[in-house]
Amino acid sequence: MLKRKIEKNIRHWIENSEKALLIYGVRQAGKTFIIRQCLEVAECNYIEFNLIHQPEIIDILDKATGINDLILKLSLYSNKKIIPGETIFFFDEIQKYKEIVTKIKFLVDDKRFRYILSGSLLGIEIINLKSAPVGYLQTINMYPLDFEEFLQIFNVGETILEKLHNSFTLKMPVDDIIHSKIMEMFNLYLIIGGMPAAIEKYRVTGSIDDVMDEHRAIIEQYKLDFTQYETENRKLIITHIYELIPAELNEKNKRFMIADIKKSLRYDRIADSFTWLWKAGVALGVFNTTKPTVPLLLNEKSTLFKMFLSDVGLLTTIYGKTCKLKIVNNDKDINKGAVYENVVAQELHAHGYPLYYYNNKKNGELDFVIEHAGQPLPIEVKSGKDYEKHSALDNVMNTSEYKINEAYVFTNDNIKVKGKLTYLPIYMVMFLQDEPVEFIDISVNKFKII
């Protein structure tokens, strides 16, 4: 049974919070399973309603005249006993009735029961719900398994992870045997990805063909979702954008070109289609920043961006079986640049970083720039042997006004430090987490108010 990092957040909610809990994110990330598992491990009395498989629940929610009427009808519909002070209502697939979010305030205020909501394609919908109940709803975005979670299928224990993390922290090389083995596992992650159904298929059958079938089924479900949620005058635009992403990533600068959708098409005419993909979680937007200085948002050019898929396994399936075979065989004639950048974007996004890249005619382009511990951190991703050639990174590091203290270059090789540059194995992106910023102590013991 795969452990997920989100479990601790759900357990904390079960033990401590009176608010409702909403877990949303990309479809097939395992939301329903992990919620159900956490509730059962905690021995909670809960009742689950699925708004896709039980559309009658939508009618009950919509037409209830009050909380007592709602509880009465839900109790009649369910075959489980509802106990005030104990029962947790779990409403799944709430994208079918997103208005439930606006009703949560009144349900939470009633205090007799607790509520968990879950759904996909909710990012843009939640933003558009102007009456979202601030202070009554805790939200958590769930992602596909990151690489650290993926390592469970190889029984990589805490001891090895601690050794790897210590190497990352101390910037000391990893044992060569361990490094080689983790690189093999990382290559498998590139072809399997983090979707629970695909990982489980690999665990059971060991067949990449079966894994690819799972990926294709997920992609087809996404496309079906696109057509269901697009407005009538935008049919197939979202699908077309999504299908272009793998090809755009194979271009030299990887920036998404609006003209590839249709010549003379302006971004502002279809901006909401891109936003829908980003907020639904099926694609990741990495935006251009004209200066690698914090806050990066101040220099963002929102009309210039790269797009990545939410899961690297889906990307390599789209590229085909030959691509996957070359990755696991570590063939030298394959350019893994797009795949490596996708997995880095995926990991950074899952770890809570807003995603940016830097581009300047004079200095060149950096793959990523993030705000880390309150400072700009340039990141280059290199899949080949010439990873020490990075003119744009050198230019930026030598620009005194940027005041950049360090930069990371993710490669296939072991850890190496050269001045302000740290070369890290590509798999160590799993350890890149934001650090708390130290603020001045303004307690009364330190300062007197005059």
What is the distance between the alpha carbons of residues 379 and 406, in angstroms, rounded to a whole number? 10
What are the CA-CA distances from residue 300 to residues 288, 304, 363 (Å)? 6, 9, 17
DSSP string, 28-81: TSSHHHHHHHHHHHTT--EEEEETTT-THHHHHHHH-SSHHHHHHHHHHH-SS-
What is the distance between the alpha carbons of residues 315 and 192, in angstroms, rounded to a whole number? 10
Low-confidence ranges of the chain (pLDDT < 50): 130, 444, 446-450
pLDDT score recorded for residue 224: 87
pLDDT score recorded for residue 448: 46
Lay out the sheet containing 421-425: strands in order across.
Answer: 300-309, 283-289, 356-360, 364-372, 375-381, 407-411, 421-425, 416-418
CB atoms within 10 A of CB 88: 19
Task: Decide: residue 5, CB within 10 A, 0-12 exposed, 13-18 middle, 19+ buried.
Answer: middle
**In the predicted model, what is the mean pLDDT of the chain?**
90
CB atoms within 10 A of CB 309: 25
Residue spans per domain, the chain = 7-142, 147-431
What is the distance between the alpha carbons of residues 51 and 427, in angstroms, rounded to a whole number? 39
Note the pTM of the prediction, 2 decimals.
0.91
pLDDT in tens, 300-331: 998 999 999 999 999 999 999 999 999 998 88
Domain boundaries 7-142, CATH class: alpha beta
Q: Which residue has the tokens 């959708």?
A: 261
pLDDT score recorded for residue 128: 55
pLDDT score recorded for residue 438: 56
The answer for residues whose C-beta is within 8 angstroms of residue 422's C-beta and 6 or more apart is: 171, 406, 407, 408, 409, 415, 416
pLDDT score recorded for residue 130: 46
pLDDT in tens, 60-89: 999 998 899 999 999 989 888 899 999 999
pLDDT in tens, 19-42: 999 999 888 999 999 999 999 999
How, if at all, do strands 364-372 and 375-381 pair? antiparallel
What is the distance between the alpha carbons of residues 387 and 344, in angstroms, rounded to a whole number? 16
pLDDT score recorded for residue 102: 84
